[in-house]
A = this chain, B = another copy of it.
Amino acid sequence: MEVVVGIDIGGTKTKIGLVDSTGHCHVETFFRTKEYPILDHFLDQIKETVTGLLQRLPQAPVVLGCGIGAPNASSKTGTIENAANLAWKGHVPLLEKLQQKMPMPMRLMNDASAAALGELLFGSGQGMTDFIAITLGTGLGAGIVANGQLIDGHTGLAGELGHMDLTVGDGRLTGLGVRGGLEAYVSATGLKRTIMYMLSKYIEDSRFRSIAFNDLHGEDITKAAEEGDVIALRAFDYTAKHLGFALANFTAFTQPEAFILMGGLTNSGKFIMEPLEKYFNEHLLPIYRGQVKLLISEMPGKTAAICGAAALIWEQNK
């Protein structure tokens, strides 16, 4: 069997798995990224983890290469640049250093772009030439496929749509210091901030009047919405309004056939998707109406990021 090593480096967990040509992840595991603040130790831990995974397969596979998704990663330079959630600062030459330890074909890419490539090869993007994958986690990331290809950008940093400014300089600050940046509204963190905003704006009682910001979790907000909590319902509506407005604007750029949404926020299901459909279609230019689908990713959540990373190598071996 031929496999590709897929690695998803996140602020909390680094997930690693072995993925076959159909996008099936045979074995996978993770370790905590923060336990390895020294890059060299982190890379050793990756190598050791990969060796362990290979031994878990019944037969030794042919390893075609290793694909890596990471925040703020540039596909063109093979570096991670000033990632807010990672311990290694400045320009981190991750690709070069890991290749020294594990010599094999290797590619690094922004995690959201890797997710888009995963959808193109193995997910809902199969057969599409134009779509945009939107990851809704701690932040908001985007991977853009146009003319059937992933768009890299001049130095490999395309698709930073979480930092598009929606409010002409008068909105919430993102982690990159952008005022009004989309991810300050539309992400797990953005939803929590919106709960606070709704508590400030309205007077209705709500379970969230007795929960501190740091104790808030996305699942609780979904649960509250299910129980009819007005603050939770208004927070989802406000989030969907900002996302719908943004996606309508994005459509005028590359005219995608679909947006494929993934990540924690999509677990809120109809509470986010129903108002999203409404606001999106309200803002969409008439020339595009009825032509753009809003989809939730069907890739298994646990291994989707690993398969996306592995797609970087499978793309070159198909």
- Using a CB–CB cutoff of 8 Å, the interface residues on chain A facing chain B are 72, 81-82, 129-130, 144, 146-147, 149, 151-161, 163-169, 176-178, 245, 248-250, 252-257, 283, 285-288, 291-292
Q: Are B160 and A287 in contact (CB under 8 A)?
A: yes
Whole-angstrom CA separation of A257 from B157 in the bound complex: 11
Whole-angstrom CA separation of A177 from B292 in the bound complex: 20
Q: Are B149 and A129 in contact (CB under 8 A)?
A: no
A315 to chain B, nearest CB (A): 13
Q: Are B287 and A81 in contact (CB under 8 A)?
A: yes
Contacts A168-B167, A283-B165: A291 and B144 contacting too (C-beta < 8 A)?
no
| Overall SS of chain A's interface | loop
Q: Which residues of B contact A254 (CB under 8 A)?
A: 144, 151, 153, 158, 253-254
Q: Are B245 and A157 in contact (CB under 8 A)?
A: no
Partner of A152, one of B81, B147, B153, B166: B147
Q: Are B152 and A252 in contact (CB under 8 A)?
A: no
Q: Are A291 and B166 in contact (CB under 8 A)?
A: no
Partner of A252, one of B163, B177, B283, B286: B163
Whole-angstrom CA separation of A169 from B250 in the bound complex: 15
A152 to chain B, nearest CB (A): 6
Whole-angstrom CA separation of A76 from B144 in the bound complex: 20
Whole-angstrom CA separation of A59 from B82 in the bound complex: 61
Q: Which residues of B contact A178 (CB under 8 A)?
A: 285
Please list the 10 inter-chain residue pairs (A to B) with the smallest Cβ-Cβ separation, ordered nearest first: A153-B255, A154-B257, A158-B255, A160-B252, A130-B154, A146-B151, A164-B249, A154-B255, A158-B254, A157-B255
A131 to chain B, nearest CB (A): 8
Q: Are B168 and A153 in contact (CB under 8 A)?
A: no
A288 to chain B, nearest CB (A): 7
Partner of A154, one of B156, B256, B286: B256
**A–B complex contacts, Cβ < 8 Å, 5 sampled:** A144-B253, A146-B152, A147-B147, A154-B292, A160-B287
